[in-house]
Chains A and B, each alone.
Chain A
Amino acid sequence: MKLSYYPGCSLTGTAAEYDHSIREAARLLNIELVELEDWSCCGASSGHMTNVNLGIELAARNLELAQGLGLDLLTPCSACFQRLRAADVALRANSQEEEHEPYRPDFSVVHMSRFLSQPEMLKSIEDLVLRPLRGLEIACYYGCLSVRPPAVTGAPDYEDPQGLDSIVRALGATNVRWSHKTECCSGSLSMTRPDIARALVGNIIEAARRGGAGAVVTDCPMCQANLDSRQIDENESGRPRLPVFFVTELMTLALSTKERPRRWKAHLVDPGPLLRELDLQASPSE
């Protein structure tokens, strides 16, 4: 299988470990990823939040690059995914009017967990598991932009999505039932209003604990960064912090038995102790 790949800015910087684990997971699943040539920023929140047309045009430049390749465009960042899809919707609508260029894309923009949770993908994941993640009780956190608004994202189950849950089960872990799957973590305000981010992240982590989770998994780089970093200062109660994984990090852990001592170096909440307790990772001295 072959897909084109739009990493987006976060995956070249603060979420580099998401990018690495995606490429590794794709290799294990025998999927070829072709990075979109000379891709540019999708505009993210700041684009559409300050100028509606800027938001559409910045994203549309990348849709133009994907034209003619005939490959679905894998977009792992939820914000990039939603911006590219929004531009796609806008271009299709414009295309109906005469003064605009025709737009007939030969591809669709796909998001990570929705792509990986297709029945045939789940089957290949299950078949490839070498280290089942037994005992790992995990809260699947989807956040906002991969599911909302459904008219743009095409998500069928936007109030109670199941993609990450089915992947986590395929890896042998347990997906807990909990209340905050799609509650916003305010990632776009994390830097400017850390007080709001701390409050919202605190609620989400507390809900995950209430659901019985020992860790959180997501497929959004802003959610991961916000949940990982804002837990550090939220945690006044002294309760153990919850590690926050990217879904592809769990996949590479389960699909390969290779021990990599620096695997979690990018994480602020170190998953090492939890994984060693569950015998899913060798202790550093071994």
Chain B
Amino acid sequence: MSEQVFKPSRADSDLRKKLAKAGLDVQACYQCGRCSAGCPVTPFFDLLPMEVVRLGSYGIEDELLSSRTIWLCASCETCTTRCPNEIDIAHLMDVLRQRALEQGIKPAEPRIAAFHRSFLRSVRRWGRTYEVGMLAAYKARSRDFFGDLLLGWKMFRRGKLRLLPRKIRGRRQVKALFTRVEKGKRK
């Protein structure tokens, strides 16, 4: 979608190693375009799914990690399901997003990053999602104060929003799980 010319000579082999380790054989892509034809979010992307795969195989990381596409991907798994070469493209998006976060790269869609952070904070604290607390945290982080106020009110009137969190007994266990994963340890 972009007019920029990418050359494999700029390749960064570190990214390719990382992708291979995650079981992603991006070199298998022959650019048939099936992933991009079926993706429902492409009109809003700055890189098509097939371009993400190609940049991955070139090892060009900057453009990938600073793209909107890795944040806008809704993880609907249509690309993964239809790829004739069994490249798990939705998983590729996950790996790239995680890498962008680890490298502290400013998300091209900050509201989406703020949403994920608010969601996971809530799970870490209560063991389950606490919608009202999560919404408040998301609004504060994203500065999206006025979006969906009317919808929120309608949902509240219909009893869809609980004012108090449902905490679980195993909260400590869940917190420990988060800490362990963040330290990069597998159970």
Contact = CB atoms under 8 A, between A and B. Distances in A.
B98 A52 contact: yes
A105 interface: no
A69 interface: no
B58 interface: no
A71 B12 CA distance: 49
Contacts of A51: 98, 101, 181-182
A196 to B, nearest CB: 6
A107 interface: no
A54 B94 CA distance: 12
Interface in B57-85: 72, 74-78, 80-81
A266 B115 contact: no
A10 B155 CA distance: 13
A49 B93 CA distance: 8
A72 interface: no
B180 to A, nearest CB: 8
Given A9-B128, A40-B168, A192-B112, A265 B177 contact: no
Interface residues of A, number: 53
Contact of B162 (A12, A52, A183, A199): A12
A45 B75 contact: yes
B148 A184 contact: no
A61 B173 contact: yes
B72 A196 contact: yes
B78 A144 contact: yes
A13 B162 contact: yes
Contact of A148 (B81, B119, B120, B155): B81
B46 interface: no
B161 interface: yes
A43 B90 CA distance: 16
Contacts of B20: none
Given A149-B77, A266-B158, A266-B159, A48 B115 contact: no
A167 B131 CA distance: 31
A116 interface: no
Contacts of A149: 77, 80-81, 88, 90
Given A13-B131, A150-B81, A200-B40, A44 B109 contact: no
Contact of B187 (A48, A49, A57): A57
A230 to B, nearest CB: 9
B123 interface: yes
A41 B123 contact: yes
A232 interface: yes
Contact of A192 (B88, B91, B129, B142): B142
Interface string B114-149: 111101100100011101000000100010100110
